[in-house]
Structure 1
Amino acid sequence: MWSNLPFDLLATIFSFLSPDSVARARSACHHWNTCATAYPFPPERQHHPLWFLAFPTRHRDLLCYAHNPITDNWHTLSLDFVPHPVRPVAPLCGLVLCRLTSKTALELAICNPFTRQYKALPALNIARTNPAVGLIELGPGPNIPIHHFRVYVAGGMSEAPRGGALYEPMLEMYDSRYDTWQIIGPMPMEFAVRLTVWTPNESVYSNGVLYWMTSARAYSLMGFNIGSNTWRELSVPMADRLEFATLVRRDGKLTLVGGTCGGDALIWELGDGDFWRSIGKVPIELGVRFLGGKESWGSTKCVGIDGVVCLYSNLGSGMVVWRQDLVKGLWEWLWVDGCCSIRGKEVKNLPIKGVALQPNLAPSFMVNICSKCFVQ
């Protein structure tokens, strides 16, 4: 019976399995392997904790490290299928939007470390260095039967007509349905400067607005309203006291994680009227363990997406994780040991850039995300 189930029904059953269990199921028979590699699993049927992927930031080897929350094990994933060293920008439906670190001007690509697929995005209309990057995932709609996404690039340095460099005040957008970049329009020069000098690449999209964190003098937010093409600045709680501040998305809402010197790591959520409300903090015992006797949160990094928030530093250091129990619907704090060895082999304690995602093992899912730019 199991070998004769229709692909769509079998794929629905597989969607309840964790990614490592799906990988084992693929080896059972040809029928199962074909189903697992040819049919995308419905995103709304994912019932498993998100994985954490760690990309070394200074190591030249093409690899990354993945933490499986089901088995609490670390794995090495080779990136030898990627032609250039990359650094993650954001998760994308089980894939990773990356920037090429070997290039001075921004070049973006999408890869799946689990199925070993890679696609370089086209060159921007304006070559620019160190711009802010924002990502929006868009699901199927009445007139659009496929998942697709848009990438926004703001600010950065571009070449001046007579030599030298200048801040770039034009906003560009990539649409995966057409595999092209287009100029959206101008942006305030002040915002272009601050997004170039004082912000990391990544952003968070919530309620129609792309947000970037800036750290000029004190932390603040730059927001771009997609519908109206307008910009605005938003204040940050305890802005002048935070040693680190990171934006994440939690339950679809804009969430801020930040820590103060000698104090706690706190979490706020943006509500109606641009009002920030405190929704939690890192438990004292986990904070002490994470800091290892230090009082500063300055070296802390954080990633988060619906379902999980991870505070980390280096590969070998442990992580503090705030994760939603998908059965109980409650959020719980836990500790995850760092990656010090894999299968008995010692792993160097490297500086890393992390990303949280749900692994996707079906190669054809890439076609559903972008029908024109992805090929198998």
Structure 2
Amino acid sequence: MWNNLPSDLLANIFSYLPPPSLVRAMATCHHWHHSATSATTNIHHHPPWFIALPTRTTTIPTHLCFIHNPIQTTWHLLNLDNVPSLSRPISTIGSQGLILFKPSGGVPLRLSVCNPFTGQFRHLPSLQKPRTNPAVGVIEVSTSHFKVYVAGGMSEATSGGAASYEPTLEMFDSRTNNWILMGSMPVEFAVRLTVWTPNESVYSCGVLYWMTSARAYSIMGYEMGTNKWKKLSVPMGDTLEFAALVPHDGKLRVVGGSHDGDVTVWELGEEDNWKVIERMSVEFGKRLVGGGTKCVGIEGGVCLYRDIGSGMVVWRRDRDNNKDKWKWCWIEGCNRVENYPIKGLFLHPNLAAASTFI
């Protein structure tokens, strides 16, 4: 019976398989391989995978990265040979399994994307206005369509003049494969986004948010419908050791921690008021004490980490008991290499055949 099922039906069935099982299905026969390569893993049925990329301060080659499989609780080494050596990861386009990169070294921004599982890589077109070190934000419109926003940055120096802040916003649309100049922005926001933004962004209720890393922490928001900018305070923003924006069912959350290991999760409610919705247990908090804690989040998971070998605390949906309930769990670090600092990201592996964009 399975041999006679049409390819589109098989592809839909395979879309519910986790990536390791999908790979095994691809190796069964030619018919299954064709159907499986057309399938995209259903991200709503599987937790996101954590990817650890070495930072510029390590001696580990930057084309190597480690990925944690949350289903089998195993670490895997991937080789990103196609990614230029002077590239830094910004964020992920998580539902499509892509990592977004930018060049390092203060050169004009030229973004690129890579699928770490298939090795596919390509540069995005050049921006309309050359700029260095702008804030970069991603909106995933669907599993096959995304937009990238670039705000602020330093403009190129004119002949005989000095470089200045670029108070404009541009948007890249993956369907049209080009950049559109969206308009101007307040210089104050351009400055803050250029100097103090680590580039992680969250889209919620028509607003694209970035967090500035200067103490006290604050949040810059761009309202899509009105082309207006706004600024939000971060709860306990002047006392937190670390803070990060994370999405949750279309809402904006902040995960923040103090030096004593106390980690709290806030959610933005009506009239831009914050409310506490979760606190991490003291047991897990003690494992993070020591400084240098970082946080990254995606729909379906939040991870607090320091480096590749120290282990991580993950907050994610409890698939075993109640899919609407979240739980904290400890993930052992990778001991396959000497410990080193990392940039952590979340994504959902995509093993489908090359898309029209990539």
Query: TM-score range, shorter-chain basis?
Result: over 0.9
Asked if residue 60 in structure 1 is aligned to residue 64 in structure 2, the reply is no
User: Counterpart amino acid of 1:109?
Assistant: S
Q: Distance in 1 between matches of 2:10 and 2:105?
A: 42
Alignment of structure 1 residues 82-231 onto 2, 5 Å: 82-92=83-93, 93-101=96-104, 104-139=107-142, 147-161=144-158, 162-231=160-229
In structure 1, the residue matched to 2:243 is 245
User: Counterpart amino acid of 1:278?
Assistant: V
In structure 2, the residue matched to 1:344 is none
Q: Distance in 2 between matches of 1:41 and 1:49?
A: 11
In structure 2, the residue matched to 1:332 is 327
Q: Distance in 2 between matches of 1:248 and 1:133?
A: 15
In structure 2, the residue matched to 1:143 is none
In structure 2, the residue matched to 1:70 is 71
In structure 2, the residue matched to 1:79 is 80
User: Counterpart amino acid of 1:230?
Assistant: K
Q: TM-score, normalised by structure 2?
A: 0.93
In structure 1, the residue matched to 2:302 is 309
Q: Distance in 2 between matches of 1:83 and 1:68?
A: 25
| SS in structure 2 at match of 1:254 | strand
User: Counterpart amino acid of 2:164?
Assistant: L
Alignment RMSD: 1.7
User: Counterpart amino acid of 1:358?
Assistant: H
Identity of aligned residues (%): 57
Q: State the Cα distance separating 1:103 from its structure 2 match.
A: 6.5
In structure 1, the residue matched to 2:278 is 280
Deviates more, 1:6-15 or 1:228-237: 6-15
Q: Distance in 2 between matches of 1:25 and 1:80?
A: 26
Q: Distance in 1 between matches of 2:305 and 2:84?
A: 28
Does the C-alpha gap of structure 1 residues 361 and 263 become closer, same or farther in structure 2, counting only changes over 3 Å?
closer
- Contact 2:261/2:285, CA 8 A, preserved across alignment: no
In structure 1, the gaps of 5 or more residues are 141-146, 342-346
Q: State the Cα distance separating 1:213 from its structure 2 match.
A: 0.6
Which structure has more RCO (C-alpha within 8 Å, separation ≥ 6)? 1
User: Counterpart amino acid of 1:100?
Assistant: P
Q: Distance in 2 between matches of 1:171 and 1:300?
A: 31
In structure 1, the residue matched to 2:26 is 26
- Contact 1:55/1:87, CA 8 A, preserved across alignment: no
Q: Distance in 1 between matches of 2:25 and 2:88?
A: 31
- Contact 1:87/1:353, CA 8 A, preserved across alignment: no
Does the C-alpha gap of structure 1 residues 6 and 282 become closer, same or farther in structure 2, counting only changes over 3 Å?
same
Instruction: Give CA-to-partner distance per residue, 1:75-118, whole Å, 9 cap, x none.
Output: 00111122344332222122222223366222211111111111
Q: Distance in 2 between matches of 1:116 and 1:103?
A: 26
Q: Distance in 1 between matches of 2:197 and 2:313?
A: 24
User: Counterpart amino acid of 1:153?
Assistant: V
- Contact 2:244/2:256, CA 8 A, preserved across alignment: yes
Alignment of structure 1 residues 256-267 onto 2, 5 Å: 256-262=254-260, 264-267=262-265
In structure 1, the residue matched to 2:340 is 350
- Contact 1:290/1:318, CA 8 A, preserved across alignment: no
Does the C-alpha gap of structure 1 residues 53 and 47 become closer, same or farther in structure 2, counting only changes over 3 Å?
same
Does the C-alpha gap of structure 1 residues 23 and 173 become closer, same or farther in structure 2, counting only changes over 3 Å?
same
| SS in structure 1 at match of 2:128 | coil
Q: State the Cα distance separating 1:283 from its structure 2 match.
A: 1.1
Task: Name the count of aligned residue pairs.
Answer: 350
Q: TM-score, normalised by structure 1?
A: 0.89
